[in-house]
């Protein structure tokens, strides 16, 4: 059954805190000045296009239950890179929220589905990033706006393993993958 029709933003404004809104000069992880109640937007009818075009994963994915509502989970799910990346933006006041259940096992499931097509599942706690893979997680540390995350198969002593590295935006590997829409940058707002 599709329960997305029953879901609403009512009582939740986590996207107004966790995500950046460049047109309002609002950085990530700071409450928007237009969210005075911290439960709804004061300028909803005239909100900028960045806000209008954002599609909350909890509202969009019918399989996600009420425990995924960002006001409860402290996680805002965003599809990016034309659907090739799913990013979980985590409230820095609850940096371990993504490791709790049912969230962590769902990220692993999404990573298993994304891996064959070269998709990415990323967890962002402020600028600290983690790439989630079916068999492990890669702690990428702080990823700055001038860096990119590249996922791919890396040669290890045990054979090829899907992994991620962080490179400068001018790195030739990043440039080649940007053309394919497969690179995450540290400034990507959500």
pLDDT computed for residue 110 by the predictor: 96
**Mean pLDDT to the nearest integer, 80-91:** 89
Prediction pTM value: 0.85
pLDDT computed for residue 175 by the predictor: 66
pLDDT at 3 over 50: yes
pLDDT computed for residue 185 by the predictor: 46
pLDDT computed for residue 178 by the predictor: 59
What confidence tier does 173 reach under pLDDT thresholds 50, 70, 90?
Answer: confident
- Cα–Cα distance measured from residue 67 to residue 77, given in angstroms and rounded to the nearest whole number: 13
């Amino acid at each position: 059954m599709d329960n997305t029709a029953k879901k609403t933003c009512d009582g939740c404004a986590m996207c107004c805190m966790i995500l950046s809104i460049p047109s309002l000069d609002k950085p990530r992880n700071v409450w928007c000045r237009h969210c005075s109640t911290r439960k709804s937007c004061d300028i909803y009818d005239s909100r900028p296009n960045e806000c209008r075009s954002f599609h909350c994963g909890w509202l969009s994915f019918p399989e996600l239950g009420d425990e995924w509502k960002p006001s409860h989970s402290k996680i805002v799910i965003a599809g990016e890179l034309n659907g090739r990346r799913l990013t979980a933006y985590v409230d820095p006041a609850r940096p371990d929220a993504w490791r709790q259940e049912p969230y962590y096992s769902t990220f692993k499931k999404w990573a298993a589905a994304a891996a064959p097509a070269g998709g990415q599942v990323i967890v962002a706690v402020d600028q600290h990033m983690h790439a989630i893979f079916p068999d492990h997680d890669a702690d990428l540390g702080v990823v700055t706006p001038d860096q990119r995350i590249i996922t791919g198969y890396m040669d290890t002593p045990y054979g090829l393993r899907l992994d991620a590295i962080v490179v400068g935006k001018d790195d030739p590997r990043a440039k080649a993958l940007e053309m394919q829409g497969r690179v995450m940058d540290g400034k990507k707002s959500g």
